[in-house]
Amino acid sequence: MPVLRRTAAIALLGLLATTWSAAPASAKWAASITGSGQARGAPIAAPTGLTATCVSPLLSPSIRLDWTASTSSFVTQYEVQWGTTSGSPSNTSGLITGTTFTQSYGGGTWYFTVRSTKGAWRSASSNQVSRTVTTILFVGLACN
């Protein structure tokens, strides 16, 4: 029996010696992906079917915008953009929860688009529409 114990002890000591003498493990972080750290996903769908209608076309006209909601189910609000230059709106509304926006504008031709929003995300712009508000002498403004 002492021989078995001695053999088992030598085997155990040999195993421990090889474990202790092994090089310590080390790890190092290495980036394997180049580029920026941006999340990727499907873009937010823009609203469609934007239309502009003159409301109270004489004296104090307003322009009412209506559109079809985005097909992206997570969209929570919309943002109207407008300006006097086609293709480059210079004004932006606050966030709107519905699909209608009405506001009065001064004389000139006004161009409008709408974007879908979710938090800080914005969709591409919808189709562009326009309306012209004209100054009529002694009457005020008219929209057409």
Question: Could you report the per-residue pLDDT of 74-111, keeping only the tens digit for each?
Answer: 999 999 999 999 998 888 898 999 999 999 888 889 99
Helix or strand or coil: residue 118?
strand
Structural domain contains residue 27: no
Read off the pLDDT of residues 113-123 as tens digits, 9 standing for 90 and up. 999 999 889 99
Structural domain contains residue 21: no
Structural domain contains residue 30: no
Type of residue numbered 65: L
Alpha-carbon 101 to chain mean position: 20
Domain that holds residue 134: 48-143
d(CA 70, CA 4): 80
User: Are the C-beta atoms of residues 94 and 82 closer than 8 Å to each other?
Assistant: no
User: Are the C-beta atoms of residues 65 and 48 closer than 8 Å to each other?
Assistant: no
Structural domain contains residue 12: no
Quote the pLDDT of residue 43.
86
Structural domain contains residue 91: yes
> How many structural domains does the chain have?
1
Structural domain contains residue 73: yes
Residue 40 structure tokens = 């990727």
Q: What is the CATH number of the domain that holds 80?
A: 2.60.40.10
